[in-house]
Amino acid sequence: MAGEEGGSSGSSPAAEPSPGGGEAGAAGGEGAGGGGGGVAYDGKCVFCRITHGEEAGTELLPCEHEDLVCFRDIRPGAPHHYLVVPKNHIGNCKTLKSEHIPLVERMMAVGKTVLQRNKFNDLNDIRMGFHWPPFCSIAHLHLHVLAPASQLGFLSRMVYRINSYWFITAEQLLERLKAESATI
Query: Which residues are identified as catalytic?
Result: 142
Rg (CA), the chain: 15
**What are the two backbone dihedrals, phi and then psi, of residue 58, each rounded to the nearest 5 degrees?**
-110, 120
Give dist(CA 18, CA 54) in Å, integer: 36
Of 92, 29, 90, 33, the C-alpha closest to 65 is 33
Buried b (16+ CB within 10 A) or exposed e, 143-155: bbbbbbbeebeee
